[in-house]
């Protein structure tokens, strides 16, 4: 039987998911946690196969926690659990190592299928999320002109997506901060956006970063 842990800071969600996973033969819930620290403490004591992980926690975020957990427990299979269906969050969690992405309003059938699928080492995306990705991808292709970036712009875009500051980018690439700012302005103009959040979101949508 698959051993499952659930991480969420809302008791209603914890109890609801635990109840949903009761009285079936696929898996069993062996622990519940309400924070990143609580999750680490539980994992040290109780080995599990699959972790249902909320993206928003009081002491950390799911993206950061997912990456850290997989460094300590590389065989752990993680399913992101959230109300966010934006493709940006999906890509961030998958990049951090999550194998699944579920919306909190999912039904029992989807939940069990997700657990079974990721336990086998395969990816599972909530059908509603799959549809959102498809629609945004089709919309992006239909409504945008292909954007061509220079090699340096691509390097800087990747670092921006990983939350590097202008100074950190300058230091890493041995550039002046003024040069980095010029490249960022060029990226903003090419993608027709005004801020960093918009830049990363648009770059993900266009497939310029993964």
Mean pLDDT of the region 77-98: 86
DSSP character string of 34-95:
SSHHHHHHHHHHS--SEEEEESB-SSSBHHHHHHHHHHH-TT-EEEEEES---HHHHHHHHH
What pLDDT does residue 143 have? 45
* Domains of the chain, start order: 2-126 (3.40.50.2300), 151-205 (1.10.10.10)
Please tell me the pTM assigned to this model. Answer: 0.66
Tell me the per-residue pLDDT of 90-108, one tens digit each, with 9 for 90 and over.
888 888 899 999 998 889 9
Model confidence at 142, pLDDT cuts 50, 70, 90, reads very low
Tokens found for residue 120:
């086998």
pLDDT at 82 over 80: yes
Residue with tokens 């990049």, as numbered in its chain: 95
pLDDT at 18 over 90: yes
| Distance linking the first and last C-alpha atoms of the chain | 34
Of 101-105, 117-121, 145-149, 183-187, give the lowest mean pLDDT range.
145-149
Residue 167 or 91, more confident = 167
Residue with tokens 């800071």, as numbered in its chain: 9
Dihedral angle of Cα 83, 105, 132, 75, to the nearest 10 degrees: 70
Cα gap 63→66, rounded to integer Å: 5
């Amino acid at each position: 039987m698959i051993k499952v842990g659930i991480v969420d800071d809302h008791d209603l969600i914890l109890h609801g998911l635990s109840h949903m996973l009761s009285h079936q033969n696929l898996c069993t819930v062996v622990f519940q946690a309400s924070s990143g620290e609580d999750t680490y403490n539980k994992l040290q004591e109780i080995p599990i196969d699959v972790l249902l992980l909320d993206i928003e926690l009081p002491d950390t975020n799911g993206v950061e926690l997912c990456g850290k957990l997989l460094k300590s427990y590389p065989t752990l299979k993680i399913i992101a659990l959230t109300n966010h269906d934006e493709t940006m969050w999906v890509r961030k969690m998958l990049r951090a190592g999550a194998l699944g992405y579920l919306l909190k309003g999912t039904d029992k059938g989807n939940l069990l299928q997700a657990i079974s699928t990721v336990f086998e080492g395969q990816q599972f995306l909530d059908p509603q999320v799959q549809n959102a990705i498809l629609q945004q991808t089709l919309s992006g292709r239909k409504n945008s002109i292909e954007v061509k970036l220079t090699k340096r712009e691509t390097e800087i875009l990747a670092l921006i997506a990983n939350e590097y500051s202008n100074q950190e980018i300058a230091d890493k690439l041995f550039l002046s901060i003024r040069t980095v700012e010029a490249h960022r302005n060029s990226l903003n103009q090419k993608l027709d956006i005004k801020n960093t959040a918009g830049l990363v979101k648009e770059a993900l949508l266009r497939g310029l970063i993964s």
